[in-house]
Structure 1
């Protein structure tokens, strides 16, 4: 398992590369050109700036998150081919600086959505929170009005240019079905996967967050069946999955450990985080520790160890602790704690595996962990 850390760039992130360097076992940064609008070809000079910054601190930049996809591609409009060509050119440029994995998503209008960025937990830390009834009862056009009246309104992961044309986007997706959205994804994949494969890059689609329809928008990466259909649509090692325990874990019916084993050959990238899911469908993000949430993080790490996982992993959204002022979900302290929990769990399974192997006691691991 190769540990990496998401970084938003000099001037856009409260966390510095020097701080990240002091977290044990982190070897690379997960990055993107966040100022480049979706659909545009990434400028090579800006890519090189990130390369120079990362390498100056001893990091690789093997993982990009994300090269965002233009809505015309998701909507299947005739203009999509222009944007797909730009995407192909960006893939080639990224391969030239050593990128191995591109994380992307196919969520309409928004990436991940929360209703409260600083919900207080029992220990007085705060975390990202989703109140299902607020989203279920909101008219998308009311949201448009809210944003229109408050130009500073934003959410982490939302592209600013989308907020400016939110009403137009909602109207564009009004009649798009899950079947149509999936067909548009497959069209995109059939165009870009051969280019990615030729240049040694693995595309890794991120699950929907949350993994159910919101604002009446279709969702097509919600569960095992959705993922299987996407991977089967284009048979290539470059057609892969970003396994996100937090996104998939919001639905208790998702067997994430089973997915690790089933999709083992198609997981180049893993997001590891925990959520506590309530009976009414609300959820809040917690520490990475399995005991603190609903997701069996320890079991997922164990499954990754069992398949001999050698891909990239990062701690996903963290709590805001010790009065840290940071980008919501992306502070230094709790994600660093998360890494140490993940490494401790991984090392424990590694030690038990070696012990069982050296003593020829295959059942030892099962006995210790039961």
Structure 2
């Protein structure tokens, strides 16, 4: 498996030199400064490639830009409103520019309004480090008493509503403001987010859009862009919902293996594939990550390896959780990696050009000098270095001549 590392561009406080020293071979990046729905030009893409490959003094970094994460899908495309046809055309143009620069793995997601959602970005874990956390009662407090979303009370049971009321009554103004900031943040690496009124306005635009309709819109989007991707040699890979259950009345349609099967089967092209995120999917106890890695294997084009610890289940699906160390938590990481290595071996036997699957250590805990550095939440230098080292150790062991994988 190819070891990559997410880099948010020149403003990222984790420099390319640190990424190389951590042992990464390639970089996962995006043009975060380009507005969603606009065209990524070949010149902008080439400039980012040069920045990845070359230090400021002109010496080579030893890194390549391997994966695009993300080429974002606009809300207009998700709803099929407004400028959605122009945005689809721009998506195809952007893919053409990416392919012209040799970039062929493109991650995207189809989550309405909110990307990954956390209530706490610096939760203190047992060893003293910090991690991102999603607390269902705090989230309910936000939904019920800060956002005051119509219909929110119907989404939570009595016990959870009572706990949310207790939490909210105990919050001072600073705690409320921090909760709002955490829950209205935009895409990782992006400068934009939502105001409360802006969020309410976006939610209202989805009032009549069911999960079934949103799923149909995803299939329509793929039916439009996948033929272009296939012609260009691009592998599109959809990231799952994070967390993998409905939020704020919004539908979530990429939360389980069955969800993936719907659009993989509807558009049965090798260019239409999966970003397997063990952390997002691992929040749900009914998601079998090693089994999913095996069964979805031929269509997995990119992998995020991280682990979460489920703290409490509300209804068998929704849970409070926090980002755990990579080899702890709910997902059997060794078995998951083993299934992915088997898939790579199968691809090599078939002669597939994409036999090597890129992965990155996703979301790390803030440890040691990460604490207080003010980096992108979930993307510390040392915490991810530790995760990558642990994951590399598993892969090294499982591909040793004395064992059966590889």
Matched residues, number: 352
For 2:219 and 2:342, locate their aligned partners in 1 and report how far apart those are by CA, in whole Å: 31
Assess if the C-alpha contact under 8 Å between 2:117 and 2:183 holds in 1.
no
Residue 82 in 1 paired to residue 86 in 2? yes
Corresponding residue of 1:295: 331
Residue 52 of structure 1: which of 31, 37, 50 is its match?
Answer: 50
Where structure 1 has 5 or more consecutive residues not aligned to the other structure, the ranges are 358-364, 366-370
Shift of 1:248: 0.2
Does 1:223 find its partner at 2:273?
Answer: no
SS in 1 for 2:103: coil
1:63-95 deviations in whole A, cap 9, x for unaligned?
Answer: 000011111110012531110000000000011
Maintained 8 Å contact 1:6/1:31: yes
Q: Report the TM-score when normalising by structure 2.
A: 0.82
Shift of 1:356: 5.1
For residues 1-370 of structure 1, the aligned pairs below 5 Å read 1-11=1-11, 13-24=12-23, 26-56=24-54, 57-77=61-81, 79-139=83-143, 142-143=146-147, 155=185, 157=187, 160-161=191-192, 163=194, 165-280=198-313, 281-289=319-327, 292-308=328-344, 310-324=356-370, 325=373, 326-351=375-400, 354-355=401-402
SS at match of 1:230: helix
Say if 1:117 and 1:128, in contact at 8 Å, map to a contact too: yes
Partners of 1:113 and 1:150 in 2: CA distance:
11
The Cα shift of 1:134 comes to 2.1
Residue deviations 1:96-128 (CA, integer Å, cap 9, x gap): 111121000000001000000000001110000
Q: Compute the displacement of 1:140 (Å).
A: 7.5
CA 1:203–1:152 in 2, change beyond 3 Å: closer, same or farther? closer
Alignment RMSD, CA only? 2.3
* 1:213-257 CA distance string (max 9 Å, x none): 011100000101001111111010000000000000000110111
How far apart are residue 198 of structure 1 and its match? 0.7
Contact 2:185–2:192 (Cα < 8 Å) also in 1:
no
3-state SS in 2 of match to 1:306: helix
The CA distance in 2 between the partners of 1:156 and 1:298, in whole Å, is 32
Does the 8 Å contact 1:138/1:215 carry over to 2? Answer: no
**How much does 1:46 deviate?**
2.0
TM-score normalised by the chain length of structure 1? 0.90
C-alpha distance in 1, partners of 2:304/2:282? 11
Q: CA deviation at 1:156?
A: 6.0
Q: 1:141 to 1:356 in 2, by over 3 A?
A: closer
Q: Structure 2: how far apart are the matches of 1:184 and 1:125? A: 41
Structure 2 gap segments, 5+ residues each: 55-60, 150-175, 314-318, 345-354
